[in-house]
Structure 1
Amino acid sequence: MTIMIAAAAENNALGKDNEMVWHLPDDFKRFKQLTTGHHIIMGRKTFESFPKPLPNRTHIIITRQRDYNPENCFVVDGMDKALEKAPQNEDVYIIGGGEIYNLGLPFADKIELTKVHAEFEADAFFPEINPNEWKLEKEEFHPKDEKHNFDFTFQTFIRK
């Protein structure tokens, strides 16, 4: 199954200047829990936003740069080629950023979204989820607390 996983604000903001604009430890835990042991597809800028490759995951990076070759990663120039690198009988996660989510949406079977209940200035955005194509299967609200500055909801969408 091809799964998009993201955290996006009410205005679909993902981040600004290649950084997230909020810090939600429970979202990071959920991301790690869901993606560990799987292939993850991302754009070059998303990959470069990490201090180092994420442990226990196979990185597939989409870029137009022909000479881009980070250690222990697959590098491809399109979403179709990225999906070909992942085992066909396993879950693969598309983890961003904005341009990659737009490329991945037609291929996705499921969306794991953390909706951050605020609006932010951003330069990267998650695509609109069309209710004619996607069904909200479950959601779990988390109020802000001492570790989380914003209310947020874990949402799972399944393609209709």
Structure 2
Amino acid sequence: MKIILIAAAAENNALGKDNNLVWHLPDDFKRFKKLTSHHPIIMGRKTFETFPKPLPNRKHIVITRKQDYKAPDEIVVVNSLEDAIEAGKKEDDKLYVIGGGEIYKLALDQATHIELTRVHETFEADAFFPEIDENRWELINTEEHQKDERHAYAFTYLTYVKRDL
């Protein structure tokens, strides 16, 4: 089974501020959609609440400490990462963890892959992606994207796989 962290983070690992991304990268959104469609997505409650509505073609699994959290019927609500992984395994053998910062930290040890969009800028933020230990993670693919009329920042897609230690 693959557990894949998927994120866009700045050079300083910034993810966002006040529960919002601090950049708009249309090609990164397209890639996110392509990779995650038809697979379960695991996220924290705060990340889920930033969506105007659930993302199409994906089973949403939301982790929250709130025992009485109410979500639409099609959303699976759990109280731990372990329960989220169990729920996701019933759907598919490829699970995507989509944030936020605390959920990425929780899931890093159990992840098998990381799909990181590195935004080539630093930002003020209150949510951060965890540091990637190059001793534990091998970079297997990179794809650069220059700044252009639709993208205010250059960015690089980085694919990591966990090393066998």
Identify the TM-score tier after normalising by the shorter chain.
Answer: over 0.9
Distance 1:58 1:67 in 2: 20
Tell me if 1:115 matches 2:118.
yes
Aligned to 1:4: 5
Shift of 1:86: 1.0
Q: Per-residue deviation at 1:113?
A: 0.3
CA-CA distance at 1:90 after TM superposition: 1.4
Give per-residue Cα distances to partners, 1:4-55, cap 9 Å, x unaligned. 0000000000000000000000000000000000000000000000110000
- 1:29-48 correspondence runs (5 A): 29-48=30-49
Deviation at 1:69, TM superposition (A): 2.2
Match of 1:64 in 2: 65
Aligned to 2:149: 146
Whole-Å separation in 1 of the counterparts to 2:88 and 2:126? 29
Aligned to 2:87: 85
Q: Shift in Å at residue 158 of structure 1?
A: 0.3
Runs of 4+ in structure 1 off by over 4 angstroms are none
Provide, for residues 103-152 of structure 1, a one-character-per-residue CA deviation record: whole Å limited to 9, x for no partner: 00011000000000000000000000000000000000000000000000
**How far is the alpha carbon of 1:92 from its aligned partner?**
0.3
The reply on whether 1:98 has 2:115 as its aligned counterpart is no
For the aligned residue pairs, the C-alpha RMSD in angstroms reads 0.8
* Structure 1 length-normalised TM: 0.98
Structure 2 gaps, min length 5: none
Unaligned runs of 5+ in 1: none
Percent identical across equivalent pairs?
Answer: 61
Give how far 1:87 is off.
2.2
SS in 1 for 2:83: helix
State whether structure 2 residue 135 is matched by structure 1 residue 132. yes
Distance 1:34 1:7 in 2: 13
TM-score (norm 2): 0.95
Aligned length: 160
Q: How far apart, CA to CA, are the structure 2 residues paired with 1:50 and 1:8?
A: 19
- Please name the residue that 1:55 is paired with: 56
- CA distance in structure 1 between the aligned counterparts of 2:85 and 2:95, rounded to whole angstroms: 8
